[in-house]
Amino acid sequence: AQRVTQPEKLLSVFKGAPVELKCNYSYSGSPELFWYVQYSRQRLQLLLRHISRESIKGFTADLNKGETSFHLKKPFAQEEDSAMYYCALRSTDKLIFGTGTRLQVFP
């Protein structure tokens, strides 16, 4: 079955600390993975996708097919990173989302 698992509902860190939001997936085939973010009172938006291999707002994510993971990382968290983060897996034309992780960054 195709599935996305985000094991942490809440992740709290202090400003300047490293952040890693975990995402594991189950998919038979070549996966295409995304991270979406929802800031307070804003719409859900794309943060990054693995095929672009880009860094957005200091965040990176590497696809690890051996561990079926796509963890989101940032070396130094900022207060403005506080948001809800969703990992998503493409299945034909649609996206399958995980349950989300709320990141809280304290000053």
Q: Which positions lie near another protein, rule CB under 8 A? A: 6, 9, 32, 34, 36, 43-46, 49, 86, 90, 92-100
Closest distance to another protein from the beta carbon of 32 (Å) = 7
Between residues 13 and 96, which has the closer beta carbon with respect to another protein?
96
Between residues 32 and 76, which has the closer beta carbon with respect to another protein?
32
Confirm if 16 and 106 have CB atoms less than 8 A apart: no
Closest distance to another protein from the beta carbon of 92 (Å) = 7
Between residues 16 and 95, which has the closer beta carbon with respect to another protein?
95
Give the β-pairing of 10-14 and 33-38: unpaired
Classify each residue of 47-76 as buried b or exposed e, where b means 16 or more C-beta atoms within 10 Å of its C-beta: bbbeeeeeeeeebebebeeeeebbbbebee
What is the rounded distance in angstroms from the CA atom of residue 74 to the CA atom of residue 21? 9
Closest distance to another protein from the beta carbon of 64 (Å) = 21
Between residues 68 and 91, which has the closer beta carbon with respect to another protein?
91
Closest CA to 92 of 2, 21, 10: 2
Closest distance to another protein from the beta carbon of 86 (Å) = 6
